[in-house]
């Protein structure tokens, strides 16, 4: 299953998280921490990120994933 879907035309990235590894409160915390970098829309089982700055959408998606992992580890 593809967890990161990049839509370059819309300048968006769709993320889906496995809830067994990524808890929703860590995702919420990451959304808050990324609030200056991107807008986030939470859907049923996915998260839509739209960059506010000129950051590449692919980099944004993967960095967000890494950040949630770091929060989960701690």
Partner 1 sequence: MENYEIDSKNGIVIVSINPKIYSLDIVYSAAYIFTEKCYVLLDGDPLQEIIAELRPKSKDEDLKKIGMEFNNELINYANYDSQSRKNVRLREILLQRAMLTNLAPSKDANQPIPMQNAEYLEKEAKPWKSSKETKDEENNNRKEEEPSATFV
Footprint on this chain of partner 1 (rule: CB under 8 A): 1, 3-4, 18, 20-22, 62-63, 65-66, 69-70, 72-73
What are all long-range contacts of 59-67, with beta carbons under 8 Å and residues at least 24 apart?
60/13, 61/4, 61/6, 61/13, 61/15, 62/4, 64/13, 64/15, 64/30, 64/34, 64/38, 65/3, 65/4, 65/15, 67/30, 67/33, 67/34
Minimum distance from CB of 66 to partner 1 (Å)?
A: 5
Q: In angstroms, give the least distance from the CB of 19 to partner 1.
A: 11
- Which CB, 28 or 63, lies closer to partner 1? 63
User: In angstroms, what is the minimal distance from the CB of 3 to partner 1?
Assistant: 6
In this complex, which beta carbon is closest to partner 1, that of residue 11 or of residue 66?
A: 66
């Amino acid at each position: 299953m593809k967890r990161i879907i990049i839509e370059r035309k819309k300048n968006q990235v769709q993320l889906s998280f496995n809830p067994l590894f990524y808890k929703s409160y860590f995702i919420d915390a990451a959304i808050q921490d990324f609030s200056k970098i991107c807008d986030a829309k939470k859907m049923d089982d996915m998260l839509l990120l739209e960059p506010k700055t000129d950051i590449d959408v692919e980099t944004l998606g993967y960095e967000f994933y890494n950040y949630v992992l770091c929060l989960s580890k701690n």
